[in-house]
Structure 1
Amino acid sequence: MTACYKHKNLQSAQTFARRLLELAPPGQAATLARQIQQVAERNPRDEIQLDYDQYNSFVVCGISYTPIYRGSPSVQCPYCRAHFKPEFQGNLCTICDISQIGGTGTGMMVMP
């Protein structure tokens, strides 16, 4: 919310503020969210276009840090189960640095 506000993405900041207020945050956070909502209501526009859809759940790609929305193709690391975009298949996982993205394997198993 504050990052969007600082970068003059007021419409996005207003969306995040509304969602924060639905969670009933403590006093100072609620006050800040209400202030951002008031400012954004006067000028609801975004300076920078974000690749974000608030109505569709997503996971974040471990290399490009961009959203992978539900229903979009993705590949996983067989060890840590991190998600990646298909173009990174075959690379070394940047999360665990152990496994090949999109490879096959059983993952981490605990043996008694």
Structure 2
Amino acid sequence: METERKKLPKDTLEQQKRLCEMAAYFTHCSLQPVHMVLVLRTALNLFFKLRNFKTAAGFARRLLELGPKPEVAQQTRKILAACEKTPTNAHQLNYDPHNPFDLCAASFTPLYRGRPVEKCPLSGACYCPTYKGQVCRVTQVTEIGKDVIGLRVSPLQFR
């Protein structure tokens, strides 16, 4: 996901907003703390540059909870103080940090709870229903949304 985000252009405001959304989505992945620090710093800086201070402050707090290196913590506290002076978001993004979601492995958009989701039968990757029947982007071998039984082992097979 991060490599796809880095490939995106940064010219227009809409493109910058999409970069911020993808960085925010990546902060909800299950990562080791050392990697989560990097992801949160990236999201924090992108949102701060876009003047979405309220959301940036949330990333700063999450980053400080992880106990980063002193120089990173000091820089994060400065950004957090600046964000708390103006706790507003300049732009509306397709990101809600409080509503749990899965991430579509093809479009990198959130699939909020209660919405229809198609899954890869092998990897469990989630997809929007529009990708049903296509090849999984993760495994490159399975069909998205296919119902499968899986491997069945029976004592009768070993006689």
What TM-score do you get using the length of structure 2 for normalisation? 0.61
Query: More displaced, 64-73 or 74-83?
Result: 64-73
Match for residue 98 of structure 2? 55
Structure 1 CA distance, aligned partners of 2:77 and 2:63?
10
Q: Which runs of 4+ in 1 moved over 4 A?
A: none
Contact between 1:74 and 1:83, CA under 8 Å: does it hold in 2?
yes
Higher share of residues assigned helix: 2
SS in 2 for 1:68: strand
* Cα separation, 1, equivalents of 2:149 and 2:70: 47
Residue identity (%) = 37
Q: Deviations over 1:50-72 (max 9, x none)?
A: 22222222221011101112232
Q: Give the match's secondary structure for 1:51.
A: coil
Asked if residue 27 in structure 1 is aligned to residue 70 in structure 2, the reply is yes
For the residue of structure 1 that corresponds to 2:59, the secondary structure is helix
Q: How does 1:71-110 map to 2 (within 5 A)?
A: 71-106=114-149
SS in 2 for 1:59: strand
Q: Which amino acid aligns with 1:18?
A: R
Q: Contact 1:79 / 1:106 at 8 angstroms: preserved in 2?
A: no
Tell me, in whole angstroms, the C-alpha distance in 2 between the residues paired with 1:90 and 1:82: 14
Q: Distance in 1 between matches of 2:75 and 2:146?
A: 46
Structure 2: tracts of 5 or more residues without a match: 1-43, 154-159
Can you list the C-alpha shifts for 1:70-107, whole angstroms capped at 9, x where unaligned? 23221101121100111221122112211111012246
Residue 44 of structure 1: CA displacement? 2.1
Which structure carries more relative contact order (alpha carbon 8 Å, separation 6+)? 1
Does residue 42 (structure 1) correspond to residue 85 (structure 2)? The answer is: yes
Q: Deviations for 1:9-53, whole angstroms, at most 9, x for unmatched residues?
A: 211101111122222222122112211111112222223322222
Range with bigger deviation, 82-91 or 46-55: 46-55
CA RMSD of aligned residues (A): 1.9
- Alignment check: 8 A CA contact 1:79 1:98 kept: no
Instruction: Return 5+ residue gaps in structure 1 as ranges.
Output: none
